[in-house]
Each structure stands twice: as structure tokens, then as C-alpha cells.
Structure 1
């Protein structure tokens, strides 16, 4: 708006749409209700005064425009926006400006529906966040209750701390629901903490008991480390190892130390045993060579064709085998397996020969043959009589009986032949 003014300072300015300055410097704002005094201009030129008051209006207009943009862009919360609108509305009502003040009021009034819409959206968002918070807090409470009833003693504690941080990050919901869920969560944490403390307290007692047991085992192991009773002492070390495993873990700061001492005692014994065995193996290597030569002679008996000759040869071989002495442990299974195979073959051949020539079995077979021959003779005589009398049924019965006895007689004669 351009302000036209008289050339003489202090004169009344030309009429303006939104206000004027009269001859005595009184400044008027024109509104729908009429003129309103808004100030006094004593600076001389009325045109300059009008320009200043118009600039004030322009600044107020910019403030309204800025408020409109901030509200449309969601930069202000509905509550802050409402306060800002009322503040600007008050500034407009009391403003010492010249301009279309009514248009500013209208623009401020137009913000009310937008403000109410944003309030509704914020209420909906708040309700959705509250529902999400209830869902999340319910999940947290349920997981905490699951952990509280589990044996997750190490990972469970970390997870409980994580759940607490998750809870803190969530907004509060209505007091009743929030208090109920917090009570569930807090009770689960308390229950878990008590159970965890009891568990580790019991473990501490078990570790202390295990420490005492392992200290005793170390003492026994060290006492055995210089033994040269290799077989019996090796068995004792196996028993000690089983007791060590059954004892369970000792406190961490001593368990590894005790194990090194226990293992060191074992290693000392078994190293000494291995060295002694190595020396014996070297000594026994010569015996193994002797037994290999004896094996060549023994295995030449196979397969057994003359049991008596094989048995006589075997007695000499067995005596020389025992006299040859011990062999290295690595060769025992191989050499003993080969000699046992020959021994079993000689024994089997002897048993087979005995079964064939057993006098008692031969006598029983001869007796059976005699009985069957006498029975066959009697049946044959009866058969002749039945035929002579024409008794067909009797003839058929006796012929069947005679055939059966003859079959048994053939079998008995074959068996007797095996013993001859």
C-alpha cells in the first residue's frame, strides 16, 4: 500500500483504505466496526507514519503466514499450535498496525479445523502407540515369566536386563494396565533373580566340595607317579580319573591348577611306563623272531591229514613256543592269533578222530544192529504165517513194520562203519 501525504509536515495524510493520520498526529485503524485509535505519530510527515504502520502490519502478516506453514507441515504439536494461534490472535487484536486486520483474523480462524484434524490424528496415533506399548509390554512380561521358570542362568540375566531397557523405552499406558503389566514383569525378574542366586549358591557349594575331592585325588596321583607296578597302578589311575570326572568342576581359579598337577602326575607315571615298555620291547624283539620261526614250522602242519603225528609235533612246538618268552606288545595279537589257529586245528582233528573210534559208541551201534536183525527175523516169520492164513490186513501191517525196521538197520550199519 502506498501512502500519499501532503507536502507540508504535520498535515493530514490523504485517505487510505485501512487507516489514517490526522493533523494532530493521531493514528486511526479502519475496521468493519469503524475507526479505532491505535497510536500517535509525532514524527512529522504523515506518509512516513503510514508507511511505518503498514510495515508493522506486513510483519504481523508474515507471522501469520509462518504459523500457517508450520501448522500445515506438522512442525508444531496441536497444543503448541493452539497456544501459538491464540498468541498471534492477541497480537492481531492489540496490534498498532494499518492493514487488513480482519483478513488476518479470518486466516487465524481458518486454522481451527486443521488444528482439530491434527488433534484427532494425534489422538489416533497416541491410541495406536498405547496399544503397541501394551502389546510390547505384554510380550516383555511373558518372556520374563518364561525366563523366570527356566534354567537360563547366564544368558537369562543378560536378557532380563535387555527386557528392562526395552520396557523403559516404551511409553506409559493407562495406569491400571501399566501397573498390572509392570507387576508381572517385576515379579518375574524377582523370581528369576532369587532362583539364580540359589542356583549359583548351590554351585558354589558343589565347587567347594569338588575342590576338596580333587585336592585329595591330586595327592593320591602324585603318590602313585613313581610306582613301577605298571598294570595295577594304571588301573588305579583310571579309577582316579573316573572320580575326577564325577567330582564336577571346582572354582575356576583353582580347577585348572589342580588339573595341571593331576595330569602332570599321570604323565610322569605313564611316561616312565612307556620308557620301561620300550626297553622291554627291544629285549622281546629277539623272542618275536624265534616265534616267527616256530610259526613257520607249526603252520606247515595245516591242513591236518595225520592227527596222531600232528598231535606229537604240536606238543614239541608248544613247549618251544612257551620257552621263547614274551614278545613286544604290538606283536602279541598277531603272533598269538596265528599259533592259536594251529592249536585249534590240531585239537579239532583229534576230536574228530576220537568221535570216529569211540569204543562205547561202536558197541552201542553193534548192539542196535543185533536188536534190529532179531526183530526183523521175528517179523519175517510172522509175515509168512499171515500170508499162509490169508490175513491181508495183518500182512500189510507186518510188511510196513518190516520196511521200517529194515530202514533203521541200514542206518545203524552205516553208523557202525564210521567207527571201524
Structure 2
């Protein structure tokens, strides 16, 4: 690695830290799939490779990682990605490519059950060879076509029996029964199949076989006997039925069935135990494990009713059958283990050969790809205007190595085509390489003179006494030397040694000065660190004005500090500027927020001012006073506004409130004045009604004014003149148009009749009260003694009060009456007033 390469920026996925590489892999885009594939293949840390595998979308690359990666977790991740890709893919080609990288029966079985595409499910079933995996697919696959394909691929009778026995799908369970030939398997299916249709199918197949019916009848070993069932046949009958018949005999007509006799419990137990032993003796295949445990539980669950000698004999037979089952199971297990080991070994050999073939194919593909890329690069360099000599020479060297690798590629057509392209590219690039070499030689020759000049300048600088000036010029000389560092190979070393000797002398003189400057720089660096700490402490302050002034002072101190090392100083400056930026950003945000709040508060206060100005002229005193108080309370809850507008908005609000409060203090005078003005307006309105106008319109106007007068309430005592004028104006109009007011409240005739009734009513009360008032004390005492009570003295008072209530009611009704114009009205008024005065003057005097 050159010095330039060390300072060149490296991408994060090439970081020495595995965690950084893993995080960088997760951030790579979809257009960087080649980088992801390279990381998944070549990274030394399994965590990084696993992260890269999670980003891979190429099924070929995933298959390679699932097969060749040295870490189990990476292989599992790649396998899981392939399963998911094949399962969810909607493109048949992509699903097929993903499934091609899977070889485990578990994964193929899962794809056969859950893959989205029917073609994927069918291909997964076609690749399955393990009968147990095929049976699992046939039993549980949701798709009927997949179940049927898996069932058709099963050749193992035990797997067929498992499908018939345990599948809940009717189609495959019945089809599996149809392919079973073993009587024991059919009996097991008939007795214990999960699907009832499969059980019925197995029983029908067994019924069609001679001699099997009696054995099948005894198959319900674990189930309790049914009391109403007929007794099982004798063992001799079972044996005879099981034996093959030589010739079919004529079946005599069946006699009429008779009621079955009550079964003997001991005989039933004997038959159940015999059937259980027979079943154990006939067990094979997968049923050996499960049924042995069930048989043991069923045997121990039977209540011993038969004789002990016979029971002991049956127990010996049962234990012997159990031992034989265990031996058969061990034999089957050993055979299957050998078969499995052989199959695994053959599979590994096939896999190794396949990997070798794939590796060879990959190597050839990589060689071809490398040759194509190099040919393109040679052609591009030949077309380039200013390629570098290093690029050209590296491409020419690589061309020779690729030609040697192409010789081993068996594809003759591609090999010859690429060989011709490489040779043509080399032929086109070689003249340009010669030109670049000549130009490089010329550059080196000119650089030699420049290096000689730089050596002289460095040697002359040794005598300079100004150390700061010397240091500055030495840096300029070093920078110039880097630009002309390539010299002729024969002179390069001599010139470099001469230049280095002068530089060593300068460094010997400058090192103490540089060390002192370094110490000063470190001290200045500490000062800047202190300023940075103070700035960072102030960055969270909310005292905006003082903190802003403090930041300006810190910036002035920063400028006064001397020189410091560049990189640390740059870091500190970034921190210092970041702290200042954070503070002033927060200050600006706070100011913006406060401006927003001020604007919102100003809007609320303007709304309050508008409302106060709206109600300040209202005469609904109490409601308006409550509203003003509410507005004042709400004003106090509103926050501040901008200072330039605070006083103006407050004066506006206060002016509106003060205007109403002044009116509120004078509300009585204002109310009376308003009422008087309103009554005066109504009187003028009546007086201005022309007597000769349309009678209907005049009546309507008068009635409307009278209604308003009544709503205004009785006039005050000092308004008798207005009331008189109102009555005169009203009566004048009514006298002019009496017919227009018929059947209204101002109807003269109706009002006259009502007045007469009220006068008569009050006058009717006068004889009683006047008689009671005029009686002498002696007469009243005599009447009291005649009544034999002194308590009757309040009776007259009570009668008067009752009459007074009627008179007051009559007075109220009189006030509600309309006018009666002319002398008739005046006479009735005087009559009513006289009657009322006489009534109230006749109140009984209390006894002394």
C-alpha cells in the first residue's frame, strides 16, 4: 500500500470494525448488489456476512452462501432467504432459481405446502424423495393438486398407511386406502383413521376379502365393549374364517335374526385380550412405536375376570408379542439407519461433485468476465486522451496473466474471441505506452534540474538566522520537492541524499524552535479549550441578552489567542462555533416563538377591544356590566404583546370600558331620559296621524302605538303632561274613526259597556259597606250580644277587605280599558272615580 493509499478515504464497509462494516452493509442501496455479494463472500466476520446475506436478492449468490459458508448462522440465514424467496416469488423463473439452491427435505416440504405459485409447489414435490416428507405434504398441504401429486409420488406402503390413517383430507386419505394391500394396515385404518370416509373405505375393502370380517370385528381393542353388541366369534371360528377357502360354496339363505343373547363379561375379556395379542403380532412399520404404548395401556386397563391360569397364559403371549414388536422395531430402525446413512453419504458425494462442478463453472465464468472487463479497459485506455503510465503498464501486465488463464477455458468460441480482443487492445495500447514512457523520461530529466535548484535553496537556507522565516521557506521547498519528486533513475538517489542532508541540518536548527512553538501552541490550545467549555456551558442559557454579549466577548478573546496546532484547533473551533450556533439558533427560535405568541395575543386583545367597543353603547346595563367584567378578566389572562403596540391596545380597551362605566353610573338618568324621549316620540307619532286618512291604516297605526305605550309601562309622576297629550291624541283619532276600531281594544262602544259594568260592580258594593259603617255602636253591640259572640266585630272588616280587593281589581281592569270619547267617557270616569272614593271612605272604624 502506497502512502497515498493510506490517506485515501475508505468506504465504511471496509472499516476495521465489524460493527461499522455490518451497519454500512445495511445502508447499501439496491444498485450496489455486486458490493453486497462480495462482502457476503469475502468478509472475515460472520456477522458482517450475515448482514450482507440479508441484503442479497440474487438466488445464485444466496445458494453459494448457503452451501459454502463456513459459519452455520450464515448458512441458515442464506437458506431462510432462499425459502422465503421461493415461497413468496410471483415470477416462476425467480422461484425456480431460489429453489434450486435448496436441498433439504424439510425446506422442500415447506415449499410444497406454502409456496404461492402452483409451479413452485409442483417442482418441490417432484424433488422430494423421502417418503416421510412426501407423506407429510400429502397429509397437510392445503392445495388438493399438491396433496395428490405428493401421494402419487409415494411408493413406501408405510407412508401410504400413514396418509390413510392420519390425514384429515378426504381425497388423499381415501386414495391412499385404495393403494393399500396389507390387511393389517387396512385393519388399522378401519379402526383408527382420522377421516371417517377413509375408515369406511378400508372397512369396505376388508369386507370384500374372505375371512377378514371376523378379525376386523375384534379390532376395537382400546374401546370399551358395547353392551348391546353381539358376542364375538370363537377363536376357532376366527381361524377358520382367516384360512383361504378352496372353492366358493353356496351360501344358504340367512335365517331370520333372533335377539342376541347377553354377552358373558369373561368371554368378552378373553376375546379382547386375544385380539390385542393378535394385533401386536401383526404390527409392522411406523405403528410399532405408537401402538405398543396404546396396547400396554389397553391391556393394563382391562379388569381381570377370567381364570388366573388362562390369564397368565394370555399375559405370557402378550409380553412375547410386545418383545417381538420391540425386536421388529429395532430391526426396522437399524435398517432405516443404514439406509439413511447410505443415502446421506451418496447425497454428500453428489453434493461434493456438484460443488466442484459449480466451482469450475464459476471459475470459468470469472475468467471470462475478467477477460471481458480487461479487454474493455484496454480499449478504453487506447481511446483515452491522457491515460497515466501506471494504468497503462498495469493493464499490459494483467493482459499477459489473463491470456494464460484463458487457455484453460474449454469454451473455444468465447476463448478465441476474447483472445483476439485482448491482443488487439494490447496492439492499440502499446504505442501509447511507448509515448507515455518517453514523456515520463522527459519529465524526470526536467525534474532533475529543478531538484538541483531546490537542493541549492535548502543549502543556502542553513545560514538564515530568522527561524520563523526559515521554517516557512522550508515548508515551501518541501511542497515544491513533492511536485518534482520523480527524477531519472540514475540521478534520483544522489539528488535525494543531497536534499535530505540539507533538510537534516535545517531540522537540527529548527527543532528547538518548533518544540517551543509547539509548547506555546499547546498552551494556546488549553486556552481555547477553556473558551470552548465556557461556550458549551452557555449554549443552553435562556438569558438571551447577557449570554449574547458574553459570546461576543468570547469571540474577541478567541481572536487574541496565538497560533495553535491546526487539526486540534480546527476541532476546537468547530465545537466553539457549534456552541455559538446552538445558542443563537435557540435564541432565534425563542424570538420567533415569542413573536408568534405576541401576534396571537394581539389578535385576542384586538378582539376584546372590538367586543368592548361593540357593547359600550348598550343600555342592557346588568348584562353589559357582566360582559365588561368578563372581558376584563379575559384581558388579564392574555399574555403580553410587542412593546411598541402594548400601550396603544391597552388605551383602546380602557377607553371602551371607561365609556360604558360612565354611562352605567348615569344609567337611571339615561333610562328616564330615554323613556321620556320614547314616550314623547309616541305622542308625536299619534299627533301627526292625519284625521282624514284611510280609517283602516289609521286604526292600525294607533293600535301599534298604543301597544308600544303599554309595553313601556306606566309613565312617571312628572310625565302627566305627556300622558294627557297621549290620551288626547288617541281619543281624537278614535272619535274621528269610531267604526275603524270596532272589535279592538279601542272600540268605544265595547269600552263604554265595560266601564258601565265596572261602575255598577263598584257601586253594588257601596250599600253594604256604608250600612255597616253607619250603624251605631249600640246597634253593633246588640247584634254582637244576639250572636252570643264578641268575635263578630271583625266580620265587617273582613267583608270590607274582600270588597276592597274587588275594587282594586276593577281599578286595574279600568286602566286596561280603551278610551270612550266625549262626555260619555268623562261622565263614566267621574262616576267610577266617585264610587271608588266612596268605597274607600266607608271603611269601618275600629271599636273603641
**TM-score scaled to structure 1, two decimals?**
0.31
Which one scores higher on RCO, CA 8 angstroms, separation ≥ 6?
1
**TM-score scaled to structure 2, two decimals?**
0.17
